[in-house]
Structure 1
Amino acid sequence: MSTPQARRLAMDILRRTMDHHQDLQAAVDDVLAGVAPGPDKGLATELAYGYLRLRGRIDFILAQLLKNPHQTSPVLKRILGVAAYELLYLSRIPEYATLDWAVSLVRERLGEPLSKVANGVLRNLVRLGRSVHLPDYYEGKTAGQAKFLSAWCSCPLWLAELWLKAYGKDKARAYLEASLQAPPLGVRVNRMHPQGERLRQDLAPLAETRTDWGFALKQWPDFLDEAVAAGAATRQSLAAQKIMDILGAEHWPSPVLDACCGRGGKTFLMTELGKTVWASDVNVFRLRQLKGESRRLGMSVPAFRAGAQGPYPLRPGPRTVFLDAPCSGLGVLSRRPDIKWKRTPADCAGLAFLQDEMLRAAAELLPSGGCLAYVTCTLNPEENEGRIEGFVRTHPGLGLLRQAQSDPAEGLGEFFYGAVLKKG
């Protein structure tokens, strides 16, 4: 049989993401851009995201079933991996249908002998039954907590070791298990918009959890598309909104320089809080996106191109500098599961050096009494507490006002760190 379209699309997404290092969502957007609306788009997206979230666990299972897993063709392992995700986690697809397309695709790409291997491996996987859904299966086949978490929680061994050292056994496991689940859909209601209050009331009964103007939703209601288009709401993770609340963004002195503004999610959050915000970014494409957001929301935010290490063409300067710092992204693995298979410990160390440069440049801009706010979307003490504590030690004119980190008990599946410093 020919391979069903959704599976071919998923394989193309994974090829672009893992072999050519394209960001997962960008690969999804590119591959599905010309595909007609229908179930194939949803299934292809689910297969790509789901497989990458659980790839480590699936690879561990397949290693028990393959004779020479380390010498197995990467093409065969990927086809088996996607098929295994279907068999284990997509109960609405009949087993025979998954076996049929996977074995046929292996035959097409790798020949008849390996198609027989694929058939045998997948049938043996089915025979394992419920056991592979329980942590005992992995605990009994691994030595030590790090290797167990690497297998059960589907992450590289170095990441399990990092979080065990940083957060202890229970919290590391909680963070890792939360990262395996698709996060809720986040939305921020624009409190400045005439429809804002009515929209907030309409969303309240639909929310899994919420803040005053932010909501986490299990499903996206149709009326929100119109609200977003009208500038009454913005798609934004509730976890990202909460870290800004906890850091007291509404009390930061204006004007605020958002020195890593990206497409402007937090820029316009601060604007909606009544702040005067200036936006800068080194990336021209992101600045164009920010200008598009400015038009959609009907808010005028001055924006210019500059690296967050400075220098800045500002006279006079801001009273608050906000750094939504480039980071390893280990706090948003639920939304960007490809990151854990691409990042290395060396990447984290390089980012920490860049973060130091940004903090230094931000501090030089501030007047006495000014604030420096620092946020990352990672779980890595070297990029979080370590950066801030080290920076304060070497810059005695700055004092730590507050710092915070998302808690897995919040149920949002995404984790942010933030700190606010004040210049004496």
Structure 2
Amino acid sequence: MRLTPAHLDMATTALRAVLPLEHPADSILRHFFRENPTLGVNDRAFVAETVFGILRHRFFIERAVSIATPRSLLLAYLARFQGLNMRELISLVSETEAKSLTEIKSVSLEAQPLDVQAEFPVWLMEKLRNFMRDSEILDLGRSLQQAAPLDLRVNTLLANRDEVLAVLGKDGIEGSATPYSPTGIRLAGKPAINRHELFVTGKVEIQDEGSQLLGYLLGPKRRDMVVDFCAGAGGKSLMLGALMRSQGRIYALDNSEKRLNNLKPRLKRSGLSNLYPQLITNENDIKVKRLTGKIDRVLVDAPCSGLGTLRRNPDLKWRQSPQSIEELKRKQTAILASAANLLKPGGRLVYATCSFLPEENQEIVDHFLNSHPRFIQLNCAELLIQQKIPLDTGAFLQLSPGLHSTDGFFAAALELVKSEA
């Protein structure tokens, strides 16, 4: 795509709308595109990719420019991280801007402080240094500056992976089997898959491979009673339904009517008949209490900082804070305790977050186990081996973009021990 003044203007306008970061960047961009319906597919892709690219590299860019304005940040990003040369930019910028961009191209990234190289705010650096070496922080930061790949999950009720790969290949969409999930496909590039017949007919869903692995950890059996406690828009609920071959019963619980409404068209496409979305007010809702002691499997994908998804949501590092983490920890503790009450003896609970902070992960689980002596921790690596998935990150599932090409996920598997007769 040849860059024009119009491209720069619309990307600058979009960035100006996003940068206060009072709301999620993706929702602001959706609103921006609704307000500008004449933008073509390529124009929208350029705006979205550029805005998110700037957010991924914002610390470096803001240090590199003399005055941080939406336009100066945009030009610096295009010159430094998109590799645009001055010949391509010269007709689009002023003489002063051209001189500044030449200097920005020569700034050494390696000479910057660690927080700038890793693109982490000071509060997060302080937390990471409690459990990571500087070299590990830098590796993590660099991995989170890359755009995430587009992963699909094959709905095994309606298709199998080889069939889907064949159809994609015939239609010129390059994809390959994911290394861990038996039903995952990783696409090359970002094709408009939501318009493809495979998506429209429910044969595939968009779902990160790490998220898919949570379903295999839970390992529901066909006639089980299952609860997806924080179901959101229901991606994991749909996967559990397919694993159960649409038998048994799954309750998809969430306290957001909007999120559950987003599940409805996905459920209709999926061909499932065993999934029941239910709106709850909080973890103590009467609908939750009615299920006490009746459930075989419970998935708790807990509300969390989302820091493991910074490849997709780079704005989160400014929208989270030490105070918000403390509030999330209180929610996580309460939700895990409430969800655990639903299990039958011998039942399994998987607690998961898309965070890499131990205080949202191991520490929440340790606190729960100390106060719930009838629960034991299962070994996640052993559970995955039972599902023929050769992935060993130890007793906990701990996924990272750099090592596994997934979002940063944490999971622990817990079992309610049967009382001795």
The one of 360, 379, 390 aligned to 1:383: 360
1:238 equivalent in structure 2:
209
User: What RMSD, in angstroms, separates the aligned Cα atoms of the two structures?
Assistant: 2.7
Between the aligned partners of 2:106 and 2:212, the Cα distance in structure 1 is: 38
Is residue 252–residue 371 contact of structure 1 (8 Å, CA) maintained in 2? no
Q: Secondary structure at the match of 2:405?
A: coil
1:273 equivalent in structure 2:
243
Please say if 1:344 is aligned against 2:326: no
Q: Secondary structure at the match of 1:417?
A: strand
In structure 2, the CA distance between the partners of 1:413 and 1:157, relative to structure 1 (3 Å rule), is farther
The answer for unaligned runs of 5 or more in structure 1 is 67-71, 104-118, 139-147
Is residue 203–residue 215 contact of structure 1 (8 Å, CA) maintained in 2? no
2:267 equivalent in structure 1:
294
Is residue 145–residue 311 contact of structure 2 (8 Å, CA) maintained in 1? yes
2:14 equivalent in structure 1:
13
2:389 equivalent in structure 1:
none
Task: Map Cα deviations across residues 70-110 of structure 1 (whole Å, 9 max, x no partner).
Answer: xx6xxx53321111101112234655637845x5xxxxxxx
Is residue 52–residue 314 contact of structure 2 (8 Å, CA) maintained in 1? yes
Between the aligned partners of 2:176 and 2:302, the Cα distance in structure 1 is: 29
2:407 equivalent in structure 1:
414
2:388 equivalent in structure 1:
none
Q: Secondary structure at the match of 2:413?
A: strand
Which TM-score applies when normalising by structure 2?
Answer: 0.83
Paired residue type of 1:357 = A
1:155 equivalent in structure 2:
120
1:107 equivalent in structure 2:
none
Is residue 254–residue 319 contact of structure 1 (8 Å, CA) maintained in 2? yes
1:141 equivalent in structure 2:
none
**Matching of residues 18-57 of structure 1 within 5 Å:** 18-19=19-20, 21-33=22-34, 34-57=37-60
Shift in Å, 1:318: 1.9
The one of 189, 199, 204 aligned to 1:219: 189
The answer for unaligned runs of 5 or more in structure 2 is 380-395
Shift in Å, 1:337: 0.6
2:230 equivalent in structure 1:
260
| Greater share of helix | 1
Between the aligned partners of 1:149 and 1:131, the Cα distance in structure 2 is: 15
In structure 2, the CA distance between the partners of 1:383 and 1:222, relative to structure 1 (3 Å rule), is closer
Is residue 228–residue 299 contact of structure 2 (8 Å, CA) maintained in 1? yes
Please say if 1:124 is aligned against 2:100: yes
1:91 equivalent in structure 2:
83
Shift in Å, 1:284: 0.5
Between the aligned partners of 1:243 and 1:22, the Cα distance in structure 2 is: 28
Is residue 117–residue 138 contact of structure 2 (8 Å, CA) maintained in 1? no
Shift in Å, 1:167: 2.6
Between the aligned partners of 1:307 and 1:400, the Cα distance in structure 2 is: 29
Tell me whether 282-291 or 250-259 shows the greater mean CA deviation. Answer: 250-259
Shift in Å, 1:411: 4.5
Paired residue type of 2:15 = L
Paired residue type of 1:268 = L
**Matching of residues 333-372 of structure 1 within 5 Å:** 333-372=310-349
Which TM-score applies when normalising by structure 1?
Answer: 0.82
Is residue 186–residue 214 contact of structure 1 (8 Å, CA) maintained in 2? yes
The one of 64, 72, 87 aligned to 1:80: 72
In structure 2, the CA distance between the partners of 1:98 and 1:321, relative to structure 1 (3 Å rule), is farther
Shift in Å, 1:185: 0.7
Between the aligned partners of 1:122 and 1:158, the Cα distance in structure 2 is: 35
Task: Map Cα deviations across residues 235-280 of structure 1 (whole Å, 9 max, x no partner).
Answer: 11122223443x2534698211111111111011111111631111
Shift in Å, 1:338: 0.8
1:303 equivalent in structure 2:
277
Count, aligned residues:
383
Shift in Å, 1:35: 3.0
Task: Map Cα deviations across residues 304-362 of structure 1 (whole Å, 9 max, x no partner).
Answer: 11145222423573222211111001000001011112211111111000111101111
Q: Secondary structure at the match of 2:22?
A: coil
2:176 equivalent in structure 1:
207
Task: Map Cα deviations across residues 24-64 of structure 1 (whole Å, 9 max, x no partner).
Answer: 222222212313324322221121011000001111223xx
Is residue 251–residue 276 contact of structure 2 (8 Å, CA) maintained in 1? yes
In structure 2, the CA distance between the partners of 1:206 and 1:38, relative to structure 1 (3 Å rule), is closer
Task: Map Cα deviations across residues 107-157 of structure 1 (whole Å, 9 max, x no partner).
Answer: xxxxxxxxxxxx64662341354443x42x21xxxxxxxxx2211122212
Identical counterparts, % of pairs: 25
Q: Secondary structure at the match of 1:165?
A: coil
Tell me whether 261-270 or 28-37 shows the greater mean CA deviation. Answer: 28-37
Tell me whether 284-293 or 209-218 shows the greater mean CA deviation. Answer: 209-218
Is residue 376–residue 417 contact of structure 1 (8 Å, CA) maintained in 2? yes
Q: Secondary structure at the match of 1:166?
A: coil
Is residue 64–residue 107 contact of structure 2 (8 Å, CA) maintained in 1? no
Is residue 90–residue 98 contact of structure 2 (8 Å, CA) maintained in 1? no
Between the aligned partners of 1:174 and 1:129, the Cα distance in structure 2 is: 23
Paired residue type of 1:19 = P
